[in-house]
Structure 1
Amino acid sequence: MKEILWLFFGCVLLVSCYDEGELKPSEAPELIYGKYTLPQGTHDYDDDIVAFYKQYSSLILYKFTSKDFGWFPTGNFAWDAAVDTIERTGGVPKYDAQVADELYVGEQLQLLRDKLFDYLPDTLMHLLPQKLLLCSVLDAVPVGLGYNPKPEQRQALNVYSGFYHLAINWGNAKILTMTPEERNRFKIDVCVAYMKAVVGSLEQPEEFFMVSRYTEEIDKDQIYANGLLDYEHRLKLDEDWLDYLKLAIENSKESLEAEGGMLHASVDVNGKIREKYTIMVDFLKSKYGFDIQAIGDDIES
């Protein structure tokens, strides 16, 4: 028994005396998500991307793969010319996403700041998707035509919402000549895509849902009188909430209150739309410090 004890203490002594040498940090970049590391390059904007990740844990990538872009649990929605040009019927459109031209990533980041980030308080910035993919091409493309679709058969998108990411277009020379109208449309699309991505993480005020009756027994011509914006959402409370978020993002307050606007008495005959709109705007301001109507009011001309 004594021999066993002496052997045990001897092993402890050897381990405690072992000198591993001075620990040194690895010179290799740290893995962030999977195979990705930051920075992806040596441009001036790479420092901004690294700082952004450290602050918000959202990874901005201007280099990515088609699997990163198109993966869904039900399949891959990335366009693949090798298989998606084969003639067949019933195919749903897929999406062609090409990595950003690095010459324009700086301008693309500024566009995101101007049209999304600057509207969001810090709390909501922390809800950004895991990845933001910067693209030079972002098209909805028909499949199964039997040939590669012509340019006019493609639909350029401002933004695409993936399973765990947002893909952002205009990492190309076009960004230098975008018109005010195009930049306003980009703002709406990217802000709506963001809200759709995070709406499940936001609280919703109970009083908002007490204004309308959610029932099938509503005629199409009575939805506004009941405070609903979309007949198809008369039973869908979450969609109704999102409809109101979009209402503020897509319209200025002035246009909402003008004749024909959703807050005008000619449309909002019972005042229920304004009541729900006010509840929503006030709740987001008090709960998150988020002025959602500021998005709709910010219009370039």
Structure 2
Amino acid sequence: MKLKNILYPLILLLMAAGCKKEDAIVPDKIVPEYSLPQGNHPYDTQIIDFHNKYGCYILYRFTEKDFKWNITNNLSYTADQGDENYIAPALDALDKYLFKFYSQDFLKKALPYKIILSARIREITFYNDTLATPVNSVSAFSHFAFGRAGSSLSGMTDDELRVMKSDLHREFWKQAVNYGKITLPPAFVSATNYADVFDWTKKYYGVFMPDVNALSPDLYGDFQGYIDVIVSNTLGEIEQSLFLPANDPNGKYKLKYNIIVNYYKEVYGVDLQGIAR
């Protein structure tokens, strides 16, 4: 028997086996990382509505990983669970001091994956001790955290509330800008060569150094300093302080201030100056 007479039927069998209809590929079902509601309170409905509108989770029950994880490192803070007796006023405070100043469209762009409500946030020192003074807000890659979801909120003075408001906006903008959700003004980015700036020359370049431990200034820290100033001071107050020649000899603070204010008003419709009124 010739070899081809043996191989030909074998090839046909292999071809038939290869053409056998395969089972349909069923994609794996993606399970959400978090489940809402977390409890059975009236405010849980508000949290669900917020998630449905913006795609952002608000968590008052969270793990250490939820709070600390920041891609390549952990936040040097510790956070207590939110006090479920005070979540409703914490949500009201977020709306009053933060959310109401931005449009729905902007919030959809700028909000993080989750907002963590903590009764108390404290900084961890180099020696692994915990500083007693509570922190209003911190942020990471996927969240910003509010540290007043507890009894301390009701006892805050007007000055403390003003600082809290500034801290909330700073951390909100920090996570939005640092991780590319909202763009920095190109003119602000190009306005300063930070390699030329030192603590004793910062006013000549219009630079803020909010991190007291930083050896040198950087673009994002500088921007956060401007957000702090803009949202906590009216233009009139700034003109009588920061913009005075003694503090702004080269007019750089005023220049960069106007760059930020005008850019976000024109591009995103955000009135940053209106936050301090």
Q: TM-score range by the shorter chain?
A: 0.7 to 0.9
1:24-173 matches, within 5 Å, as 33-34=32-33, 36-74=34-72, 76-77=74-75, 94-126=76-108, 127-142=110-125, 153-173=131-151
Q: Deviation of residue 201 (structure 1)?
A: 2.5
Conservation of the 8 A alpha-carbon contact between 1:141 and 1:155: no
Instruction: Provide Cα deviations, 1:164-196, integer angstroms capped at 9, x if missing partner.
Output: 112211222222222111211111111111111
1:246 match: 228
Q: Deviation of residue 275 (structure 1)?
A: 2.2
Distance 1:283 1:130, change over 3 A: same
Distance 1:38 1:220, change over 3 A: closer
Distance 1:162 1:277, change over 3 A: closer
Paired residue secondary structure (1:268): coil
- Given the two structures, how large is their TM-score scaled by the length of structure 2? 0.76
Within the alignment, does 1:281 sit opposite 2:261 as a pair? yes
Conservation of the 8 A alpha-carbon contact between 1:214 and 1:237: no
- The number of equivalent residue pairs is 246
Note the residue ranges of structure 1 that are not aligned, 5 or more in a row.
Answer: 1-30, 78-93
1:226-245 matches, within 5 Å, as 226-230=205-209, 232-233=216-217, 236-245=218-227
Distance 1:222 1:113, change over 3 A: same
Distance in 2 (CA, whole Å) between partners of 1:121 and 1:232 is: 35
Paired residue secondary structure (2:86): helix
Distance 1:32 1:105, change over 3 A: farther
Q: Quick check: 279-288 or 68-77, which moved more? A: 68-77
Q: Deviation of residue 228 (structure 1)?
A: 3.4
- Which amino acid is the alignment partner of residue 225 of structure 1? Y
Q: Deviation of residue 75 (structure 1)?
A: 5.2
Match of 1:180 among 152, 158, 173: 158
- Which amino acid is the alignment partner of residue 79 of structure 2? A
2:174 match: 196
- Given the two structures, how large is their TM-score scaled by the length of structure 1? 0.70
- How many percent of aligned residue pairs carry the same amino acid? 29
Conservation of the 8 A alpha-carbon contact between 2:37 and 2:45: yes
Distance in 2 (CA, whole Å) between partners of 1:279 and 1:72 is: 30
Instruction: Provide Cα deviations, 1:110-139, integer angstroms capped at 9, x if missing partner.
Output: 011111111122233112111111112222
Q: Quick check: 163-172 or 200-209, which moved more? A: 200-209
Conservation of the 8 A alpha-carbon contact between 1:32 and 1:38: no
- Which amino acid is the alignment partner of residue 58 of structure 2? I
RMSD: 3.3
Q: Deviation of residue 287 (structure 1)?
A: 0.8
